[in-house]
Amino acid sequence: MKTLNVGMIGYGFMGRAHANAFRRVGNFFDLEFQPILKAACPNDLHKEIAIAAAQAGKMILCEKPLSMDGKEGLQMVRAIEKAGVPNMVYYNYRRIPAVTLAKQLIDEGRLGRIFHYRAKFLQDWTISKDLPQGGTGLWRLDAKVAGSGVTGDLLAHCIDTALWLNGPMEKVTAMTETFIKQRKHTLTGKVEAVGIDDASLFLARFANGSLANFEATRYARGHKALYTLEINGENASICWDLHDLHRLQFFDHRDEGRLRGWRSIHVTDSDHPYMSKWWVPGLQIGYEHSFVHQVADFIEGLQSGKPAAPTFRDGLATDYVTDAVLKSAKSGRWVTVQR
């Protein structure tokens, strides 16, 4: 097997998840290459590193969000596309088998006309006033490093999946809030204004005519990392949540009337996406496997010549939505999403 040096932009516990995926992928997927992981960094350095890597002709996998805003992201996309190097952004939830199954059902046309899309990402780990900002494990609270708060950290995940499952978004009206206005900064030792958004909500209209409702917060007591999504179509609906990531809820109106109900699909069979590579039916996989799948798909994309998504360009589309969300939250107006 040939080794493959891959630049990976990411950090902290995410870095561990990536490293784990790089080590494991070859044991479960038949691949020509064994990837070798390279350097890691936080959000505000993505641009410089990515552009330098592209110019050096290196392929690159980037942690999400792609960049601090669409303007930066566009520069990265141009550099990458000019250099022609393989590239991918780590919106790993696309590779949870249950979410991939949802995508298959949508692509097969089972839902019919889409009326509603609903997503939220709820956490509760920053409620304490005593939590400082900045430093190891807490850089996500520091706007200078993180860019935004939950908009870039959590909503970006919801948006990427939504664009993938439901197509482009047209416009948004948003609201953000910083519940705790001041926190001690770990590096300076001083109480400083908090620059990030603690919560971010928006309504949207998709190009396909459906209405959407998005929310992310780190102040939803009782939820650790509850990313949920639901899609309501004319003929069928789909529901999924990260706290039980190995299940997909599916309602099919074409089922016999008396016997219609939400099906709780335990996505662990060999005919479910990716699952033939793992154990036997009934035995669930976890969060980390989405990274193994992503690396496997990236390498298979190299082998087949069909690059795996989301590429940097796909990541840019998400950045454009988060830009619109932050702009709308500031202006109080509906904002059209750049495309």
What value, to the nearest 5°, has the Cα angle with vertex 245 and ends 177 and 219? 20
Among 38, 78, 205, 327, binds its own copies (CB under 8 A): 205
Interface segment toward its own copies; rule CB under 8 A; list 59-67, 79-87, 146-154, 175-183: 175-183
**Which residues, numbered 17-56, are part of the site for its own copies (CB under 8 A)?**
17, 19-20, 23-24, 27
Residue closer to its own copies (CB basis): 51 or 335: 335
Interaction of residue 1 with its own copies, rule CB under 8 A: no
What value, to the nearest 5°, has the Cα angle with vertex 275 and ends 121 and 251? 55
Among 78, 103, 184, 266, binds its own copies (CB under 8 A): 266
User: At its nearest, how many Å lie between its own copies and the CB of residue 99?
Assistant: 14
Q: How many CB atoms lie within 10 A of CB 301?
A: 16
Interaction of residue 175 with its own copies, rule CB under 8 A: yes
Interaction of residue 311 with its own copies, rule CB under 8 A: no
User: At its nearest, how many Å lie between its own copies and the CB of residue 319?
Assistant: 22
- CA pair distance 98, 274, nearest whole angstrom: 10
- CA pair distance 12, 32, nearest whole angstrom: 29
User: At its nearest, how many Å lie between its own copies and the CB of residue 309?
Assistant: 22
Instruction: Lay out the site mask for its own copies across 177-196 (x = CB under 8 A, - = otherwise).
Output: x-x-----------------
Structure tokens at 130: 């005593």
**Which residues, numbered 222-241, are part of the site for its own copies (CB under 8 A)?**
222-226, 232-237
Interface segment toward its own copies; rule CB under 8 A; list 48-56, 138-146, 183-191, 265-273: 265-273
**Selection from 115, 109, 9, 96 nearest residue 52 by Cα:** 9
The rounded Cα 163 to chain-centroid distance in angstroms is 11
Residue closer to its own copies (CB basis): 59 or 101: 101
Which string of DSSP letters, residue by residue, matches 136-191? TTTGGG-HHHHSSSHIIIIIHHHHHHHHHHH--EEEEEEEEE-SS-EEEBTTT-SE
Contact 1/26 with Cβ under 8 angstroms? yes
Interaction of residue 201 with its own copies, rule CB under 8 A: yes
Interaction of residue 330 with its own copies, rule CB under 8 A: no
Among 29, 34, 115, 307, binds its own copies (CB under 8 A): 115
Among 71, 144, 260, 330, binds its own copies (CB under 8 A): 260
Contact 98/151 with Cβ under 8 angstroms? no
**Which residues, numbered 271-290, are part of the site for its own copies (CB under 8 A)?**
271-272, 278-289
Residue closer to its own copies (CB basis): 1 or 13: 13
Interaction of residue 250 with its own copies, rule CB under 8 A: yes
Of the CA atoms within 13 Å of residue 225, those in its CB half-sphere come to 9
Contact 263/195 with Cβ under 8 angstroms? no
- CA pair distance 109, 123, nearest whole angstrom: 33
User: At its nearest, how many Å lie between its own copies and the CB of residue 118?
Assistant: 8
CA distances, 310 to each of 4, 110, 115 (Å): 20, 24, 25
Residue whose tokens read 């495309």: 339
**Selection from 321, 95, 327, 123 nearest residue 219 by Cα:** 123
User: At its nearest, how many Å lie between its own copies and the CB of residue 34?
Assistant: 13
Among 195, 211, 301, 309, binds its own copies (CB under 8 A): 211
**Selection from 146, 103, 122 nearest residue 14 by Cα:** 146
- Using CB under 8 A as the binding criterion, the count of chain residues that bind its own copies stands at 88
Interaction of residue 161 with its own copies, rule CB under 8 A: no
User: At its nearest, how many Å lie between its own copies and the CB of residue 310?
Assistant: 20
User: At its nearest, how many Å lie between its own copies and the CB of residue 264?
Assistant: 5
